Amino acid sequence: MFKTLVPADITEFAGKRAIVTGGSRGIGAAIVQRLLDGGASVVTTARNATDETPKGATFIQGDISTLAGVQAFAAAALRELGGVDIVVNNAAAARTHLGGIASIPDEEWLDALDLNYLSAVRVNNALLPALREAGAGGVIVNISSGSAILPGPPLAHYGAAKAALNTYGKALAAELAPAGIRVTTIMPGNVLTPGADVIRQNFADAMGVELAAITAGIPLGRPGDPRDIAEAVAFLASDRAQWITGTSLNVDGGELPAI
């Protein structure tokens, strides 16, 4: 059962300009709402808005799986906000491939890398001049996955893309630290969202088990709520985390059996 959170401090992100990808639903929508609740101005994107897309944010329709799509979105977002202080790379899509890793076709590997890894690299590249211009205090949070460390075979390509995101984030953190810009990575575990629910059902069907079996055994006793990830983003994006950079944080109810 998800407990009620301590109300957000509405002054924490006052004056901050945030760009969040994939904020139309699920974890991204919770991140957008949490930053709004903290007083930030937020722009988000997805291919389609949903009923879940927070109304207080500016929604820019777009597809960030290509370089051209990212550049168009970044330019529109910067026009809207006049600059940027917080970047959250959340948009991604895990696509299961059953039948063996060697049978994953080249197009699926490239698709996985484009959306789950290169989209974040391209968004950051497009926004870095504006982040640098805003000066010390800028923050990038990349949303990775526990699959980066413990990839199930049907998600080998997704897990590899997320592992690349972790590694890239570490290098970027080192490069940007002298400018006072922090880069952190969050690795969610099983969080109940529209996108991930489909993946879990695919796994359950392939294994011939009930859906609930996929999230059974999480040490803290429940799957994640998107707000669990949004709280971690809010912390890492805030000055409370001013001495944290280059970190990859598991937020997974204790599920990942690794240090």
Q: Is 47 in the site for ligand NAP (CB under 6 A)?
A: yes
Among 33, 41, 65, 96, binds ligand NAP (CB under 6 A): 65
Per CB under 6 A, does 191 bind ligand NAP? yes
Among 8, 18, 60, 91, binds ligand NAP (CB under 6 A): 91
Beta-bridged to residue 250, according to DSSP, are 187
**CB of residue 15 vs ligand NAP: minimum separation in angstroms?**
26
Smallest CA-to-CA distance from 30 within 38, 242, 238, 128 is with 38
Orientation angle between helical segments 119-134 and 156-176, nearest 10 degrees: 20
Our finding on whether 63 is near ligand NAP (CB under 6 A) is yes
Q: Does the protein bind ligand NAP through residue 188 (CB under 6 A)? A: yes
- Nearest to residue 19, comparing CAs of 132, 129, 184, 139? 139
Closest by Cα among 212, 225, 213, 214 to 251: 225
Residue 158 annotated among the catalytic residues of the structure: yes
Q: Given the complex with ligand NAP, which of 124 and 193 has the nearer CB atom?
A: 193
Rule CB under 6 A: is residue 90 a binding residue for ligand NAP?
yes
Residue of 149, 158, 139 lying closest to 233 (CA atoms)? 139
Cβ proximity of 208 and 198 under 8 Å: no
Q: Which of 179, 197 has the CB closer to ligand NAP? A: 197
Decide: 105 and 53 in contact? Cβ < 8 Å: no
Residues in contact with ligand NAP, total (CB under 6 A)?
Answer: 31
Toward ligand NAP, which CB reaches closer, 178 or 257?
A: 257
What is the rounded CA–CA span in Å between residue 213 and residue 86? 37
Where along the sequence are the contacts to ligand NAP (CB under 6 A)?
21-22, 24-28, 45-48, 62-65, 90-94, 115, 143, 145-146, 188, 190-191, 193-196
